[in-house]
Amino acid sequence: MSLICVADFEQRAKQQLERTALDFYRNGAGEQVTLGQNREAYKRLRLRPRCLRDVSQLDTSCKILGQQLNWPLGIAPTAMQKLAHPDGELGTARAAGQAGSIFILSTLSTCSIEEVAVAAPETCKWFQLYIYKDRSLTEQLVRRAELAQFKALVLTVDLPINGDRRADARNQFSLPPHLRLANFQDELMQGFVSKLGGSGLNEYVASQFDPSISWQDIKWLQQLTQLPIVLKGILTAEDAQLARNFGCAGIIVSNHGGRQLDTAPATIEALPEIVAAVGKDLLVMLDGGIMQGTDIFKALALGAQTVFIGRPALWGLAANGQRGVEQLLQIMRHDLEITMKLAGCPTLRDIQPSMVVHESSYSQL
């Protein structure tokens, strides 16, 4: 089967991945309502294309946090990428660089901060941070990201505890012994096994991550580092305003790919209230459910300045390592270009809010 869209890569990955890894990657929390809605919500939006607008030359470039990028799509942090392919995070980071995209490295990666820095020196890299109960450990992660020339810290704020991921509990999800959480030296921190009969990751998070973190910890982090701080996991106008007031450099509108609070809104549903509240003075980005060019286009039209993909990159990696991610990104870029041309938008600035409407605006017919 030739691979021509993200869904094809997903199919291929399903055939290739070992069951426990596939379940960890694809599932959401609870009844998986939010997981499904992240995709479904895009289908409820209609595009209003404009015509006769000379689309012979297309410009998809953009500037995010001072970095020039080829197009407004980056790779969201996803944990333990060597479960998908031995290339792991090194392959994904290199593929992102090839595509002129941002790569965000997870704290829970199977290649270390330093390994990724050496393997992908040209890639624009951000580091995703979880705050550990052990604050000196957290501080060390920040210092290492700075030293390795990562350009921003992405603090994930939607995971004080792990969501109710039922498949992982059923599978007693543990990190296979040949892999390790590469950012940690301490043997105890390098892996996790299920000891209580449920998800081993759940137990790891409960014992290590600090559930007491609050807005005051944003100040703590700002005192620690000069790096711009991006909050990932914002879903309301209220929290977006707080992020702005606390001096964050940006936010990622995200529900963690439907893996945390089930029945939280789809990210594309949450985006408009957030853009209305802070869009003029804060960098607003989004992830969740992005599968094709029209999805990217809709998020941009509704005010996101760039979007990120989580699972699709994992499907590319599972299908064919670094090369698979490269192919997947090429396909998505081409798909965005087709959408822009057919909608009459030669540049990203031409993508306007009026070009996206809810399907109910047409329901009188």
Active site residues: 256
Segment interacting with ligand FMN (CB under 6 A) among 72-80, 131-139, 331-339, 344-352: 72-80
For the bound state, the minimum distance from the C-beta of residue 365 to ligand FMN, rounded and expressed in Å, comes to 32
- Per the DSSP assignment, residues forming a β-bridge with 287 are 308
Examine residue 165 and tell whether it contacts ligand FMN (CB under 6 A). no
Examine residue 290 and tell whether it contacts ligand FMN (CB under 6 A). yes
Instruction: Judge whether 267 is annotated as a binding position.
Output: no
> Residue 60 or 81: which CB sits closer to ligand FMN?
81
Distance (Å, rounded) from C-alpha 44 to C-alpha 106? 32
Q: Among candidates 135, 134, 132, 129, which has minimal Cα distance to 150? A: 129
Instruction: Judge whether 15 is annotated as a binding position.
Output: no
Instruction: Judge whether 333 is annotated as a binding position.
Output: no
Side-chain half-sphere exposure of 116, counting CA atoms within 13 A: 33
Examine residue 72 and tell whether it contacts ligand FMN (CB under 6 A). no
Examine residue 232 and tell whether it contacts ligand FMN (CB under 6 A). yes
Does residue 298 contact residue 42 with C-beta atoms inside 8 Å?
yes
Does residue 72 contact residue 66 with C-beta atoms inside 8 Å?
no
Among positions 91, 288, 293, 324, the unique one binding ligand FMN when judged by CB under 6 A: 288
Give the SS3 label for residue 180: coil
Among positions 38, 123, 171, 339, the unique one binding ligand FMN when judged by CB under 6 A: 38
Site for ligand FMN in 81-110 (CB under 6 A): 106, 108
For every residue of 281-307, DSSP letters joined together read: TSEEEEESS--SHHHHHHHHHTT-SEE
Examine residue 293 and tell whether it contacts ligand FMN (CB under 6 A). no
> Number of H helices and number of E strands within the chain?
13, 12
Annotated binding site for glyoxylate: 165, 256, 259
Enumerate binding residues for ligand FMN (CB under 6 A).
24-25, 38, 76-79, 106, 108, 128, 156, 232, 254, 256-257, 259, 287-290, 309-311
